[in-house]
């Protein structure tokens, strides 16, 4: 090797040493004392050993400090590159809090914008790890990096639905950069250290934290108790996702019997429909090995969404939960449902809906909250789904829920119902009160109100039962087949096998316009 190369290699090695050192040992120790891994440690834990290929490592902050001295800024506070996660390629970036508190500089933001474009063009997932005090401030130039932020946000939006996008909030993420993780498909928080806030006054102790964005804003999908757990959640999510929208999710070999019958399913639902039950009890009994990967668990819990497998076939489950608000479709649950089914359709992931809901709640309170507008998103969204769709109707399918939960002629591939199903325009109890109010008033005077009420109610329930409506295959709400509840798992498995390679086309258009 010629001596002329030695000087270049020495500079390159010096650059690499600076990058490995980050903001220095004291900053690294401070990071650890806060219960956080460093940016490089996070990437190393995420990727398969030896697969991370760094890019943009030479980049530095080119502006001088307040006193005119150069700023130490290894990689400009952004570590990024390509790696493999469980054998699958992905683009990954992490903001380094040890370098100027992870603040976003002009060059660092352009690095991420370029990486997002590369991920989209290579059609592989992008994973962002956020730990940043926000936009960097320059004495002469004010906030820096906003121009690059515009390009980054545009790239995220353009490639949304083409490649999976996952964001981890493992430290602070404030100011304009806070918009980027919310644009991602999945948002994972560290419970103890994650903080997301666009700006303005903070009026509550929990503002910006994991529980705040899970329970109140609904922006958080998963809460982890450590950086390590958040990274493990990321790996699990990727197992359900294809590399891009042109591929199908991977089917894995399963040791769980696809024909398994569950006697316990006969005991979940209470005899009296006035009483509730937890939909998780049914989900856990029918999915492979009882493993259900739930998202947004504490946001609008009356709608349960998440991933599972049926004989190794990945699927998204959207289920109304009678144990929470009777499973009503109020605005938050409608939004939760809409975003989830759009994600599944974008990435060819089958949808299994499980319906037991009295539908959309009536009344002034809900109308003021836009219950019609939010519900219309579900109608519009489900109508455009082309992914495999299997519906299981469990008990109540009243009013609009029959349509939005894929129980009617909205394009589901298979509809199965338990013999306990009731199809009705609204709850039979309300119909009895509205139609037979004179008879009930008379019965109340005569002291036999309960007997008269239950008489009319029993007639309506018999009329609305799927065992009655099922005799007419096209006229009324119906199902393709009424099944023994113990057959639920095997029916879903066979339906998913049959529809996995289905082809369904929509009318050509430039784009659809979703209700506001």
pLDDT value at residue 254? 95
Distance, in Å, from the CA atom of 92 to the CA atom of 177, rounded to the nearest integer, reads 17
236 shares a domain with 343: no
Could you tell me if residue 206 is inside a domain? yes
85 and 183 together in one domain: yes
Do 54 and 166 share a domain, yes or no? yes
Q: Are residues 213 and 356 in the same domain?
A: no
Task: Give the span between the Cα atoms of 425 and 445, in whole angstroms.
Answer: 30
The helix (H) or strand (E) run that includes residue 282 is helix 279-286
Residue 450 and residue 351 share a domain: no
Stated pTM of the model: 0.92
Assess whether 51 and 160 both reside in one domain: yes
Contact 492, 352 (CB under 8 A): yes
Q: Are 217 and 300 in contact (CB under 8 A)?
A: no
- Residues with pLDDT less than 50, the chain: none
- Residue 478: predicted pLDDT: 77
| CATH code for position 478 | 3.90.226.10
Q: Is residue 123 part of a domain?
A: yes
Question: Do 83 and 223 sit in the same domain of this protein?
Answer: yes
Q: Measure the CA–CA gap between 452 and 445, rounded to whole angstroms.
A: 12
Antiparallel, parallel or unpaired: β 303-310 and 293-295: antiparallel
Same domain assignment for residues 126 and 201: yes
455 vs 468: CA distance, rounded Å: 18
**pLDDT score for 141:** 54
Q: How many domains does the chain have?
A: 3
Output the DSSP codes for 15-36. Answer: HHHHHHHTT-HHHHHHHHHTT-
Same domain, yes or no, for 384 and 460?
no
- In tens, the pLDDT along 262-316 reads 999 999 999 887 789 999 999 999 999 999 999 999 999 999 999 999 999 999 9
Say yes or no: 341 and 471 in one domain.
yes
Query: pLDDT tens digit string along 210-219?
Result: 999 999 999 9
For residue 511, tell me if it sits in a domain.
Answer: no
- 343 and 473 assigned to the same domain: yes
| Cβ neighbours for 417, distance < 8 A, ≥ 6 positions apart | 392, 393, 394, 466, 470, 479, 481, 482, 483
| Same domain for 369 and 297 | yes
Identify whether 514 is part of a domain. no
How far is 308 from 352, CA to CA, in rounded Å? 10
User: Does residue 8 lie within any of the structural domains?
Assistant: no
Domain assignment of residue 455, given as a range: 426-464
Measure Cα distances from 428 to 166, 334, 398, 431, 468 in Å: 44, 23, 9, 5, 15
Q: Which residues contact 198 (CB under 8 A, 6 or more apart)?
A: 174, 175, 176, 178, 179
End residue of a domain, out of 183, 206, 240: 240
| 321 is a domain residue | yes
d(CA 226, CA 36): 8
Residue 492 lies in a domain: yes
Structure tokens at 313: 């076939």
Q: What pLDDT is stored for residue 2 in this prediction?
A: 63
The answer to whether residue 157 sits within a structural domain is: yes
């Amino acid at each position: 090797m010629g001596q002329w190369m030695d000087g270049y290699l020495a500079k390159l090695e010096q650059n690499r040493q600076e990058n490995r050192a980050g903001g220095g040992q004291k900053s690294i120790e401070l990071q650890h004392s806060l219960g956080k891994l460093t940016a490089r440690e996070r990437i190393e834990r995420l990727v398969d050993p030896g697969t991370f290929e760094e890019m943009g490592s030479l980049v530095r902050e080119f502006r001088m400090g307040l006193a005119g001295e150069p700023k130490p800024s290894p990689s400009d506070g952004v570590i990024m590159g390509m790696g493999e996660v469980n054998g699958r390629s992905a683009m990954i970036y992490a903001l380094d809090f040890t370098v100027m508190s992870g603040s976003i500089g002009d060059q660092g933001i352009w690095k991420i914008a370029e990486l997002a474009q590369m991920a989209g063009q290579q059609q592989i997932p992008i994973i962002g790890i956020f730990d940043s005090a926000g936009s960097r401030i320059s004495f002469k130039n004010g906030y820096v990096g906003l121009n690059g932020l515009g390009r980054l946000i545009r790239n995220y939006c353009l490639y949304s639905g083409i490649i999976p996008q996952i964001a981890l909030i493992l430290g602070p993420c404030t100011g304009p950069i806070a918009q980027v993780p919310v644009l991602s498909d999945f948002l994972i928080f560290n419970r103890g250290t994650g903080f997301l806030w666009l700006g303005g006054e903070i009026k509550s102790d929990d503002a910006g934290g994991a529980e705040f964005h899970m329970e109140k804003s609904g922006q958080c999908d998963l809460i982890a108790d450590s950086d390590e757990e958040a990274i493990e959640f990321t790996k699990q999510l990727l197992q359900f996702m294809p590399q891009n929208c042109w591929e199908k999710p991977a089917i894995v070999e399963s040791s769980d019997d696809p024909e398994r019958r569950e006697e316990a399913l006969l005991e979940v639902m209470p005899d009296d429909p006035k009483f509730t039950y937890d939909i998780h009890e049914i989900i856990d009994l029918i999915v492979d090995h009882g493993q259900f990967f739930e998202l947004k668990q504490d946001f609008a819990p009356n709608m349960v969404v998440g991933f599972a497998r049926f004989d190794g076939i990945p699927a998204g489950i959207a289920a109304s939960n009678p144990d929470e608000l009777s499973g009503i479709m109020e605005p938050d649950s409608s939004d939760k449902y809409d975003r989830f089914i759009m994600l599944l359709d974008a990435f060819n992931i089958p949808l299994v809906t499980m319906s037991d809901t009295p539908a959309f709640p009536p009344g002034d309170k809900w109308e003021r909250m836009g219950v019609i507008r939010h519900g219309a998103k579900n109608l519009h969204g489900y109508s455009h789904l082309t992914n495999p769709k299997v519906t299981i109707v469990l008990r109540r399918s009243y009013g609009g829920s029959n349509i939005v939960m894929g129980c009617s002629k909205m394009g589901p591939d298979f509809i199965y119902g338990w013999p306990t199903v009731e199809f009705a325009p609204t709850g039979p109890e309300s119909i009895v009160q509205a139609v037979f109010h004179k008879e009930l008033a008379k019965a109340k005077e005569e002291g036999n109100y309960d007997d008269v009420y239950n008489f009319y109610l029993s007639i309506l329930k018999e009329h609305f039962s799927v065992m009655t409506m099922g005799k007419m295959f096209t006229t009324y709400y119906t199902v393709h087949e009424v099944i023994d509840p113990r057959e639920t798992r095997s029916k879903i498995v066979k339906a998913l096998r049959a529809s996995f390679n289905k082809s369904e086309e929509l009318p050509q258009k430039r784009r659809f316009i979703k209700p506001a």
